[in-house]
Structure 1
Amino acid sequence: MECPSSTSSQGRHVNGKQSIDPPGPATDKNGPRHRPLTPMRRCRGVLCLVVMLLTAFMMMVYLSPTTTFLVRLFSVHYSRKSTCFLFGMWLAIWPFLFKKVNKTRFIFSGESVPPKGRVLLFSNHRTEVDWMYLWDFALRKGCLQCIKYMLKKSLMKLPVFNWSFHLIEFIPVERKWEIDEPIIQRRLSEFKNPRDPLWLAVFPEGTDYTSQEYAVEHGLPILKNVLLPKTKGFNCCLQELRSSIDAVYDITIAYKHQLPTFLDNVYGIDPAEVHIHINSIQVSDIPTSEDEVATWLIERFQLKDELLSNFSKLGHFPNEGTEGDLSTLKCLANFTVVISVTGILTYLTLFSSVWFKVFVVFSCVFLTVTTYYSIHLPQLIGSPEAVADPGFMDRGADILLPPPAPPLLLSSLLFPLIPPLFFLDVQACRGGWRTPSPHATSAPALR
């Protein structure tokens, strides 16, 4: 997901043919770090990463099955709303980490956009952590819980994180259009309900150097700071959502003085500043035909290229200061709630009834199966489609299962029956039921 970091932008001739070097961003990954990696920062980074993984794990195994399974049977809308609320609380820890712990400055420029709403965002892609910095923007607009991304399908193999990607309905793509097109269309068709808030973020740039060769062959502009965008995926998103979104946001991200990596964020050594430039575009101002959309998107990336060139000279985007600062009090309150809930659930798992451990095991099986097979259950109870069409229950979920999968899937779906057992005394598991006396008049007691 990382963009090339070479600073060369000129073509060269090899064997009589022009060869285009990859575009070079304004900052370099191999430059000096903003802060040194001290033992204290290393320990703090490891602690932060452990906390993030533990909070994510506990919230997913205990809370998300209820919102993504039980609630979804009755209402897809409220299932998404409750799931997004839970994940929004967890995601809000990351901007807190960036801003308050790592002391990274977020500087917004361009247009000030209204909060809430349903929007399609597209951005340049400088490093593997660009998408995480959009969380800071979404948090300020009250839409952190509803932001979704298109991401490489290989990222769905990351343990624990792949569960969260699936639960909040990120769209994995193979980057092969003949495979991705029906998947994108089917998934986007599920996001058209105007009651469901949506921020869908896409990164249209290619991730290899062939886009520059393609530009030379087809007479397209050679871009210095960005790659030539791939237009089919963006056009598909726009056409599917055109009638149900309020605006399109053109986002340009730049860094000072160093392109950060994920570990740079964890250890708090980079970036020093993240600059985010925002342009809001009305949907009615965007062409409708595929060819015109492709031309329009390339022109937008030409503007991004010029914007980044000016940034490398001036050190800032025009019209800065469009967003206020994050509330430290709200960040601390959210962090306290998430950590407290995680602490309670961790204690119950390790030191309380064995049924908590059983629930965790069943929940992990459930999350693993539904993520691996990309299962999103439909609303089955009270749904007009389910009442009118008996076959709706068979077609509603996005399921392609090999023969061995159904027994495993069915066993994992039984885990919601376990929570009532939490109220049983742990001694019931150790000593069994006490044999009642022949003269006893009361019900059998647990030993």
Structure 2
Amino acid sequence: MNGSASNEEEALNGNKKKFEAGEPPNMKEPPRHRPLTPLRIFRGVLCLVVILSTAFMMLVYWAPVTVLLFRLFSVHYSRKGTSILFATWLSLWPFLFEKINKTKVVFSGDRVPKKERVLLFANHRTEVDWMYLWDLAFRKGRLGYIKYILKSSLMKLPIFAWGFHILEFIPVERKWEIDESIMRKRLSTFKDPRDPLWLAVFPEGTDYTEQKCIKNQQYAAENGLPILKNVLLPKTRGFYACLEHLRSSLDAVYDVTISYKHRCPVFIDNVFGVDPSEVHMHVQRIPINEIPTSEEDAADWLVERFRLKDQLLSDFVSRGHFPCEGTEGELSTPMCLVNCFVVISLTIIFIYLTLFSSVWFKVYVAFSCAYLSFITYYGVQPPQVLGYVKAMFDAKKTS
């Protein structure tokens, strides 16, 4: 134990000296796995145009139906309709990653069931980790039901912010005194066990960098916490708030550890297909009754999970893989092609109706854009009118 602590302290001091001298703690990042050729640039731009145009048309034509009209009668069926429609569109991303870019996605660990309500937490290596969780959700039939806790600045992205809002992602400022009330309000709407749910959390609160790691290690050393090399210490309050509100309706918690070969990608790498060569995801399923109920014990439990996650990532670096690989198969190419054909065909029809058909379609699109902008900017969802009317009628009947 003393030798291990001494080694950790030496590594921390060495990293600190390099950081203060302006040197990187580790080796330089390797070059891209695939060269950025003109063909890849053309293909990437084409894919991005397809994704943006299909997103826009699917949102403006379907969102008022599933999010406004359906929700007036039933929140449950509104969520179901929205999830089915947008799972079809979201399937374009795994298709891009695995079939067009030829990125190998390897799953290991536990083979998780398909129909569970879960809280999922993962390490945050780069800005696109959350997108690769779609590859797992797609295989489990939960692509339209995955929801993220994400930084509020992403709610300002054109078009995508509309989608984030109607899919009920939870925006946060990463300041607990501001986020607590917002999170608790949003989480209280996810308690219905009839609604499928994959709620994804990144407890580190930010993506990993060497500089952040050094500062995190210094904080850990000063406060008697584990000194981690491959992840940052988790922020526990948001995770516990999710557990506290949803525990009674959850089946399990999924601990997902993500690592990359050849190097960690950024968004533009995904678009052009130059990196990564492989994405490895290790999934561990923890039954909800095995997680402590008190906030202090749950916080300690989460820190310990990240210590184990750090060790798992160190083993990955030395071995080149996670244990128990091959828990999920490859995506079905015919299914991906069918989904892609459906989305693109609908988009072509919607574009034709908007530009060349009745003026009422232009009015509808204008109304839809205004409606989506309004509800996203003010963070509101329409009420379930039928439920209120029924409750009032039942109250009068009993009185």
Normalising by structure 2, what TM-score?
0.90
Structure 2 counterpart SS, 1:151: strand
CA spacing shift, 1:62–1:310, aligned 2, 3 Å: same
Contact 1:61–1:363 (CA<8 Å) still a contact in 2? yes
CA distance, structure 1, for counterparts of residue 131 and residue 272 of structure 2: 15
Q: Deviations over 1:117-169 (max 9, x none)?
A: 10000000000000000000000011111000000001101000000000100
Compared CA separation, residues 11 and 337, structure 1 to 2 (3 A): same
d(CA) in 2 for partners of 1:247, 1:365: 39
What secondary structure is seen at the aligned counterpart in 1 of 2:327? coil
**1:303 alignment counterpart:** 308
Distance 2:277 2:314 in 1: 19
Q: Which residue of 1 aligns with 2:98?
A: 99
Please tell me whether the aligned partners of residues 106 and 275 of structure 1 are also in contact (alpha carbons under 8 angstroms). yes
Q: Which of 361, 372, 377 in structure 2 is aligned with 1:356?
A: 361
Tell me the residue number matched to 1:85: 84
Pairs aligned (count):
379
Instruction: Please give the residue correspondences for 1:209-358 in structure 2 after superposition, counting only pairs within 5 Å.
Output: 210-358=215-363
Would you say the 8 A contact 2:15–2:25 is kept in 1?
Answer: no
Aligned residue for 2:330, secondary structure, equals coil
- Gapped regions of structure 2 (runs ≥ 5): 1-9, 207-211
State the distance in 1 between where 2:16 and 2:380 align. Answer: 52
Q: CA deviation at 1:357?
A: 1.4
One-letter identity of the residue aligned with 1:184: M
Q: Equivalent residues in 2 for 1:426-441 (5 A)? A: none
Q: What residue identity is the alignment partner of 1:68?
A: V
Deviation (angstroms), 1:47: 0.5
Q: Per the alignment, do residues 154 and 24 of structure 1 end up closer, same or farther by CA in structure 2, a change over 3 Å counting?
A: farther
- 3-state SS of 2:114 partner: coil
Structure 1 residues 26-37: aligned runs within 5 Å = 30-37=29-36
Matches within 5 A, 1:18-417: 30-207=29-206, 208=212, 210-383=215-388, 384-385=390-391, 387=393
CA distance in 1 between counterparts of 2:25 and 2:394 reads 57
SS at match of 1:360: helix
CA distance in 2, matches of 1:261, 1:15: 26
Question: Residue 343 of structure 2: SS of its match in structure 1?
Answer: helix
- 1:389 is displaced (CA, Å) by 8.2
* Offset at residue 14 of structure 1 (A): 11
Deviations 1:362-383 (A, max 9, x none): 1111100100000112211144
What residue number does 1:427 align with? Answer: none
Equivalent residues of 1:68, 1:79 under 8 A apart: yes
Root mean square deviation, CA, Å: 2.4
Look up the SS of the partner of 1:97 in the other structure: helix
1:396 corresponds in structure 2 to none
> Structure 2 CA distance, aligned partners of 1:14 and 1:96?
40
- Aligned partners of 1:123 and 1:203 also within 8 Å: yes
How far off its partner does 1:354 sit?
1.8
Matched-pair contact (CA < 8 Å) for 1:24–1:224: no
Report what 1:411 is aligned to.
Answer: none
Moved over 6 A (4+): 13-16, 21-25
- 1:440 alignment partner in structure 2: none
* Contact 1:206–1:228 (Cα < 8 Å) also in 2: no
Deviation at 1:23, TM superposition (A): 11
How many Å apart are 1:212 and its aligned residue? 3.0
> Does the CA-based 8 Å contact 1:23-1:224 persist in structure 2?
no
Tell whether the 8 Å contact from 1:88 to 1:144 is kept in structure 2 after alignment: yes
Q: Secondary structure at the match of 1:136?
A: helix
Distance 2:346 2:121 in 1: 35
CA distance in 1, matches of 2:246, 2:163: 24
Structure 2 CA distance for partners of 1:248 and 1:352, relative to 1, 3 Å: same
Q: How far off its partner does 1:12 sit?
A: 2.6
The verdict on how the C-alpha distance between 1:270 and 1:357 changes in structure 2, with shifts beyond 3 A counting, is: same
Conserved 8 A contact 1:23-1:225: no
Partner of 1:433: none
- 1:87 is matched by which residue type in structure 2? F
Flag the structure with larger Rg: 1
